[in-house]
């Protein structure tokens, strides 16, 4: 299972796999709409990041996506980031943001392959940096919303053991 750190390390150093912090990977609920978290896969030889629904790239978006403002060449986080995508703790949005910044620091990708949406060849790293930076107000808003929902006594643990431990994803 990809929950196991040793499984994720099988293909290193050519292929690296990481699971985002701040979100449920094993059992995201509701299953029908929470498609936010996915395994991020970096293929070092091709400098390509493969990601499922967490990030969308608008390579000739459909008519429906255009109706909601998605333009050719644009990049966005999956809409469930605003709902069930991240844990409902004040820390979760910043854990995810910091995890993304670590990915950007560790993986020198040029290309991104986003499931269901599109492929960007060249310039993807800079565009993901921009995406994370532009999402800062959203991270703050989500954190504040979650802070208001929970008192300090009933905030659930944000990350399961052995996943996304600060400084070392595999603990």
Q: What is the pLDDT of residue 79?
A: 87
Task: pLDDT band for 159, please (50, 70, 90 cuts).
Answer: very low
- What pLDDT digit, counting tens, does each position of 73-117 carry? 899 998 889 989 999 999 999 999 999 999 999 999 999 999 877
Instruction: Give ∠ CA 39-81-144 in degrees, rounded to 5.
Output: 130
What is the pTM for the complete model shown?
A: 0.82
| 46 pLDDT above the threshold of 90 | yes
> d(Cα 146, Cα 88) in Å, to the nearest integer?
6
Q: What is the pLDDT of residue 151?
A: 61
* H helix and E strand count, the chain: 5, 7
Average pLDDT, the chain: 85
Q: What is the pLDDT of residue 152?
A: 53
Q: Would you give the distance in Å from CA 22 to the centre of its chain?
A: 9
Highest mean pLDDT among 2-6, 14-18, 94-98: 94-98
Q: Partners of 15 in the beta sheet?
A: 43
The kind and range of the H/E element at 114 are: strand 111-114
| Residues whose CB falls within 8 Å of the CB of residue 55, separated by 6 or more in sequence, listed in order | 75, 76, 77, 78, 112, 114, 128, 131
| 25 pLDDT above the threshold of 60 | yes
Q: What is the pLDDT of residue 161?
A: 42
């Amino acid at each position: 299972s990809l929950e196991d750190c040793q499984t994720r390390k099988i293909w290193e150093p050519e292929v690296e796999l990481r699971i985002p912090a701040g979100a449920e990977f094993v059992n995201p609920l509701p299953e029908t709409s929470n498609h936010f978290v996915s395994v991020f896969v970096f293929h070092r030889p091709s400098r390509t990041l493969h990601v499922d629904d967490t990030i969308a790239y608008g390579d000739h978006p459909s008519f429906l996506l255009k109706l909601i403002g998605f333009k050719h060449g644009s990049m966005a986080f999956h809409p469930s980031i605003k709902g069930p995508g991240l844990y409902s703790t004040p820390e979760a949005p910043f854990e995810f943001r910091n995890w993304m910044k670590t990915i950007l620091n560790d993986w020198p990708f040029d290309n991104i392959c986003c499931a269901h949406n599109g492929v960007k060849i060249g310039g993807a790293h800079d565009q993901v940096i921009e995406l994370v930076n532009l999402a800062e107000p959203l991270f703050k808003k989500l954190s504040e919303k979650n802070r208001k929902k929970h008192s300090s006594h009933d905030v659930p643990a944000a990350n399961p053991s052995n996943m996304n431990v600060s400084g070392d994803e595999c603990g």
